Structure 1
Amino acid sequence: MESLTVQEAIKRSIMTEKSAMDFYRLGAGHMTNEQARKTFELLADEERDHARMFYDLYQGDDLPDFDTLMAADPAAENDWLSSTEKELFAQFDDRKAMEMAMQKEKSLAEHLQQMADRFDQPDVKEVFLKNVRSTDGHYQLIESEYARLMGMVHETDIDTFVRE
């Protein structure tokens, strides 16, 4: 792994979380199922919260204030949403958007865990670990909504099916 300072890792994490927020906002705008749309809106808000945690740790002076940064148009170099995916998103159905989101959340959780393992500073490590846990929760939320959307047995219905 390349040599990366704590502050560089934090800055990249801010931008990754912003990219994820942009991904979910764009996705929510294309969802046809109301509950799927609400799930993506919730995830966009949570990604913004993640970005805030990293932003509060960042000591550089090369970023605008937090609200301005979050309001900026999605970057051309977006970790979560390539230009091809932006074009395809309009053609995706809710199922494919959720499949893409699950894949991205899984990759992000792995990356965040690697970053947490890499740095020894307790405050930095804890922010990465907290985001690992939240990202795992995002994956589970999307997976649950995906199952509901696809008409699969939802985990809250398992007891009902087992008893019958």
Structure 2
Amino acid sequence: MKTLTSEDIILQMVQMELQAMHFYQHAAGCLQDEDARFHFELLADEELEHARSFHALLPSPEAVSFEEMEQAPPQPCDEVDCAALAGFNQLQALEMALRLERKVEQDLRRRCETINDAQARAVLEKNIYSTEGHALLIAEDLERLRSSGTGS
């Protein structure tokens, strides 16, 4: 089994963030509720910024072009069922986004447990922290929607 370097982990994190961006973009295109679509477009923008920030951590960021990584065709988003998403309201869309962010966080934590390289581990921990923050923001939006009685 290949030992992952910090550069390998960083590139994986960039790819993961870009994949999340593509997911949110694709899902936003399925949503009919304008507020739900807005939230998913915002989440896509945030994922792009996360990817950019991870790319900047590369020892030689110019060696791997961020623009090329961003423009690469996305992997298929099997989780996106446009027919099911089409009827989602803002509350349902954010609930789904929160579940996805928490799943990603759990996956990152499991992965972090298997990494021995301190630098690579630090990159994963930064992504865990970022993902936790994302989930907290989504949870706050959900709480506001629930307490205001809007979003459905």
TM over 0.5: yes
TM-fit CA distance, 1:42: 1.6
State the one-letter code of the partner of 1:49. E
Cα distance change on mapping 1:14 and 1:104 into 2, 3 Å:
same
Cα distance change on mapping 1:103 and 1:148 into 2, 3 Å:
same
Q: Which residue of 2 aligns with 1:143?
A: 139
Cα distance change on mapping 1:99 and 1:134 into 2, 3 Å:
same
Deviations for 1:72-96, whole angstroms, at most 9, x for unmatched residues? Answer: 33223xxxx32xx33x134313355
Task: Kindly indicate whether the alpha-carbon contact (under 8 Å) linking 1:18 and 1:48 is maintained by their aligned counterparts in 2.
Answer: yes
Residue-pair matches, total: 141
Q: Is 1:89 aligned with 2:82?
A: yes
Q: Is 1:153 aligned with 2:147?
A: yes
Which structure 2 residue ranges, 5 or more long, are not aligned?
none
CA distance in 2, matches of 1:116, 1:91: 33
Q: Which residue of 1 aligns with 2:118?
A: 120
Q: Which residue of 2 aligns with 1:43?
A: 43
Query: The residue matched to 1:5 in structure 2 has which SS?
Result: coil
Deviations for 1:54-74, whole angstroms, at most 9, x for unmatched residues? Answer: 22334589x862123212332
TM-fit CA distance, 1:24: 0.9
Taking only the aligned residue pairs, the percentage that are identical comes to 33
Cα distance change on mapping 1:141 and 1:24 into 2, 3 Å:
same
Q: Which is greater in Rg?
A: 1
Task: Kindly indicate whether the alpha-carbon contact (under 8 Å) linking 2:13 and 2:51 is maintained by their aligned counterparts in 1.
Answer: yes
Q: Compute the TM-score of the two structures, normalised by the length of structure 2.
A: 0.71
Q: Which residue of 2 aligns with 1:5?
A: 4
Q: What is the CA RMSD across the aligned residues, in angstroms?
A: 3.0
Q: Compute the TM-score of the two structures, normalised by the length of structure 1.
A: 0.66
Task: Kindly indicate whether the alpha-carbon contact (under 8 Å) linking 2:14 and 2:52 is maintained by their aligned counterparts in 1.
Answer: yes
